[in-house]
């Protein structure tokens, strides 16, 4: 059974930084991609950043230049370094692992105050 465990959320003031980490466990024959989504209060879940096993990377326009995604394929981990955080970055951040299906973490709260 695949499990994703996230860590690193918290509360910061605008302009601050946080680093999110996600570690996958279980038998995963072929990971296609790992990444992060977020959900703000009253909003739908949206892509933040995702990195394919082939090295391809996609960032949401809202986070380009501020967030950096990194993966360790051997360890099955994905991190998200978030700099210059803004109040609009507030939300629950979910780790995603995609192989034949999508697996989601439990979510970690990020709160940015002005």
Q: Indicate if the pLDDT at residue 89 is higher than 90.
A: yes
The predicted structure's pLDDT at residue 92: 98
CA angle 83, 85, 86 (to 5 degrees): 160
pLDDT value at position 100?
Answer: 87
Average pLDDT over residues 83-108: 96
Cβ neighbour number for residue 49 with a 10 Å cutoff:
23
Strand partners of residue 22: 6, 78
């Amino acid at each position: 059974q695949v499990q994703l465990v996230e860590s690193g959320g918290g509360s910061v003031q605008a302009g601050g930084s946080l680093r999110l980490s996600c570690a996958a466990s279980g038998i995963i024959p072929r990971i296609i991609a790992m990444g992060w989504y977020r959900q703000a209060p009253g909003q739908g879940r949206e892509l933040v950043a995702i990195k394919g096993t082939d090295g391809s990377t996609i960032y949401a326009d809202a986070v380009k230049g501020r967030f950096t995604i990194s993966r360790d394929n051997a360890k099955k981990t994905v991190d998200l370094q978030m700099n210059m955080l803004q109040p609009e970055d507030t939300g629950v951040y979910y780790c995603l692992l995609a192989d034949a299906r999508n697996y989601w973490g439990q979510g970690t709260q990020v709160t940015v105050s002005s």
